[in-house]
Amino acid sequence: MADAPKTLVELRQVTRSYSGVEVLHPVDLALRDGEFMTVLGPSGSGKTTILRIIGGLVRPTSGAVLLDGADIATMPINRRPFNTVFQDYALFPHMTVEANVGYGLRVRGERRARIRDRVAETLSLVALEGFGGRYPAQLSGGQQQRVALARAIICEPRLILLDEPLGALDAALRRQMQQFLKRLQKEIRTTFLFVTHDQEEAVTMADRICVMNHGRIEQIGSPEEVYYRPTNEYVARFFGDNNLIDVSIGGVEDAGRALAGKLGAFHCAGDSSSDIAEGRPGKLLVRPEAIVIGGGEGADNRVRVRIEDVSFVGPVSQVLARPLADPGQVLMVKLQSRAAGAPVAAGEEVDLAWSAGECHVVTA
């Protein structure tokens, strides 16, 4: 059996208050050695506060910040074996790329030959060979970001903190940089803690995702766990599109957990719903891409609907439908556009179907 991943940094009951207002409630978080963790949440959720506490930019009001089991909550920022990459990159405009990247080694007092060799190696690692003599103003946004990354990794920190570093890039370049960051992290095997409000960034890069809300951690898990098995309604609504259907939670049957609501009877199998007490109100969650229109012979769950709108959205066609049993609710279906053609039109009445294994239930 493989050894469990070692914990590098751990927050234990960490809080942070400003003028008596608690913006970070007691938080427990363990960051594993060598992993890529993303802290995800909207503005004001506390994600940047966590990054700044770990980095030493802010001291916690209470609680412990552990590095290899030793409390570093009061350790000065310059003594922590961490480096931070900010959204604005913070490059020295009067220095060349080479000088920017080698700055940390010069501060350490490394020999010139050593600095020259390490800078060349690091620029090669971030695909900036030949750019050493340029100045930041002569670089694109993506190139400037890679210079900032090179400067962060050249001193071989044990943890790299990234505070929404892709926010200033256009959509196409942002996707390229997501792939680049993930490859880089795997290559250098350094722990990354990445803060973002963008769900796509979190799914694309993270080994684990920590979802934040109003200074509290709502869920920590792999992208697949958070996407398909959210622990509560907040995560389900925040993390991608989700159809949420009000139900009353019944007992466990052969086809899965029995559920009942305005839209009819349903079954949900293969998730944590079996741990929920019978009789509680809940939400049945089903992803738009898991629903079949008009077919689904033998499907465990079925709802009769009237199609309200069909929209072409590039590779995906989005269908909105209102259940006949509850026209106040709207259900979303996503189909591959090439395969979809025009399967339905506004005004048609059809069945929507999905299997018991393609849904999830949480308490309301």
Vertex 142, ends 137 and 148: CA angle to 5°? 75
- Taking residue 93's Cβ as centre, other Cβ atoms within 10 Å add up to 8
Residue whose token pair is 């279906």: 333
Q: Which pLDDT does position 342 carry in this prediction?
A: 58
Tens digit of each residue's pLDDT, the chain (364 residues)? 556 779 999 999 999 999 999 999 999 999 999 999 999 999 999 999 999 999 999 999 999 999 999 999 999 998 999 999 988 888 999 999 999 999 999 998 999 999 999 999 999 999 999 999 999 999 998 899 999 999 999 999 999 999 998 887 888 888 888 999 999 999 999 999 999 999 989 999 999 999 999 999 999 999 999 998 999 999 998 987 899 999 998 888 877 789 999 999 999 985 555 567 788 889 999 999 999 998 767 788 999 999 999 998 888 889 999 999 999 999 999 988 765 555 788 999 999 999 999 999 988 7
- Cα-Cα-Cα-Cα torsion 303, 306, 308, 309, nearest 10 degrees, comes to 70
Predicted local confidence at residue 253, as pLDDT: 80
Spatial separation of the C-alpha atoms in residues 9 and 159, rounded to whole Å: 9
pTM, entire model: 0.89
Give the pLDDT score at 51.
97
Residue 276 has what pLDDT?
73
169 contact partners, CB below 8 Å, separation of at least 6: 141, 142, 145, 177
pLDDT at res. 339: 59
Query: Which residues touch 84 (CB under 8 Å, ≥6 apart)?
Result: 51, 55, 57, 152, 160, 161, 162, 163
pLDDT tens string 130-160: 999 999 999 998 899 999 999 999 999 999 9
